[in-house]
Structure 1
Amino acid sequence: MQCPIDGTTLKIAERQGVEIDFCPQCRGVWLDRGELDKIIDRSTADAPAPRGGGYEERPRRKKRESFLSELFDF
């Protein structure tokens, strides 16, 4: 499968039992229907319970980038 952005051949990574297509060149990520929900469900099951009465702070960009780099080996 080719990257719709730059035409590079997509690579496949498996994380938490979900196959993820990604472009090593532009770092685009493509998921099939329902795969994002599976990843979120499985990652939140492993996450510790929020502190402070259930208030969850919005994730910062650096945290999101770290999460994505762990998933896709960027």
Structure 2
Amino acid sequence: MQCPIDGTELVMTERSGVEIDYCPQCRGVWLDRGELDKIIERSAAQMAPQAQAARPVYDEDHRDSGYRKKKKRGGFLDELFDF
């Protein structure tokens, strides 16, 4: 199958049990029927335990100023689209 944007041959790969087609040239991603639903379900399932355990993290040096240090968390979508 060819990329609808630039005509490059699409590459098919499987990420976390979901088959995706992507263009190595423009980095466009195309999903077949039902694949977006799988991504949404797995992302929601992974985020639910994290949301329950999430608490603000404060830097010790800025505790009095109300400064919040954010933690970067990789999620299902980060793993899926990391080519």
CA gap 1:42/1:67 in 2 versus in 1, 3 angstroms: closer
Segments of structure 1 that go 5 or more residues without pairing to the other structure are 53-62
What is the 5 A alignment of 1:1-74? 1-47=1-47, 48-49=50-51, 70-74=79-83
Offset at 1:11? 0.7
Which is higher, the Rg of structure 1 or of structure 2? 2
Alpha-carbon distance in structure 1 between the residues aligned to 2:78 and 2:51: 23
Deviations 1:25-64 (A, max 9, x none): 0011100111111111012111222569xxxxxxxxxx9x
SS at match of 1:70: helix
TM-score normalized with structure 1 length: 0.66
TM-score normalized with structure 2 length: 0.60
Offset at 1:72? 2.7
Offset at 1:67? 6.6
Segments of structure 2 that go 5 or more residues without pairing to the other structure are 56-71
Alpha-carbon distance in structure 1 between the residues aligned to 2:82 and 2:3: 18
Stretches (4+) displaced over 2 A: 49-52, 66-70
CA gap 1:73/1:8 in 2 versus in 1, 3 angstroms: same
Equivalent position amino acid for 1:71 in 2: L
Equivalent position amino acid for 2:51 in 1: A
